[in-house]
Structure 1
Amino acid sequence: MRPVDERILETMRDEGNLTPQAVENFDVCSRGHASIRLSELAEYGLVERIAQGLYRLTDTGRAFLDEELDADELEATTKTS
């Protein structure tokens, strides 16, 4: 987890489903950086991709924000090619 990740998750909790461009529009970080971070957050189950470039906060992401889950407890899902 990086400091910007929590800001992205908080923005998603407050604003709903977001694209990387929307993350940039909310002055969290650049669109390119948001795209990278959202992909990483999806690997850990904190957000899920619901359409190309569109992400939503998961129950795991909400638990993290509510301090019910520590980032050290998260495991990346294995990608298959």
Structure 2
Amino acid sequence: MGDDTAEWMDPADEAILEAMRSDDVFSPTHIDEEGICRGPYAAHRCRQLTEHGLLKKYTTGMYAITERGERFLAGELEASDLTSDEVASDEE
């Protein structure tokens, strides 16, 4: 994430995205089991990350990292550039 973070981001977000790269991690419960943050807070962060296009929600409690999330982790996208408005225009 570096020094260029967005106001909406949380310190746990990068660790959540990194964990979501694993095939074994796809829910807030798994984030809790990984010791990143507690399940209810992980669920909240997953919803925020989905809103900004970094995760995709498949069904209740099941998420996957998106191409945009991968690009963010690779340093190709800055956190301050990730707005929910951008996601809406990307999906059109």
Q: TM over 0.5: same fold? A: yes
* One of 8, 13, 18 as aligned partner of 1:5: 13
Give the aligned partner of residue 4 of structure 2. Answer: none
Q: Number of matched residues?
A: 77
* One of 47, 59, 62 as aligned partner of 2:67: 59
Structure 1 segments (4+ residues) deviating >2 Å: none
Asked which structure has the greater RCO (Cα within 8 Å, sep 6+), the reply is 2
Give the aligned partner of residue 33 of structure 2. Answer: 25
Structure 1, unmatched stretches of 5+, are: none
* One of 34, 38, 46 as aligned partner of 1:38: 46
Q: Which letter maps to 1:53?
A: G
Superposition RMSD on alpha carbons, in Å? Answer: 1.2
How many percent identity over aligned positions?
Answer: 35
Structure 2, unmatched stretches of 5+, are: 1-8
Q: Give 1:65 shift.
A: 0.2
Q: Which letter maps to 1:22?
A: H
* SS of equivalent residue, structure 2 residue 12: helix
Q: Which letter maps to 1:27?
A: G
Q: Which letter maps to 1:65?
A: L
Give the aligned partner of residue 75 of structure 1. Answer: 83
- Could you tell me how far apart the structure 1 residues matched to 2:54 and 2:77 are? 11
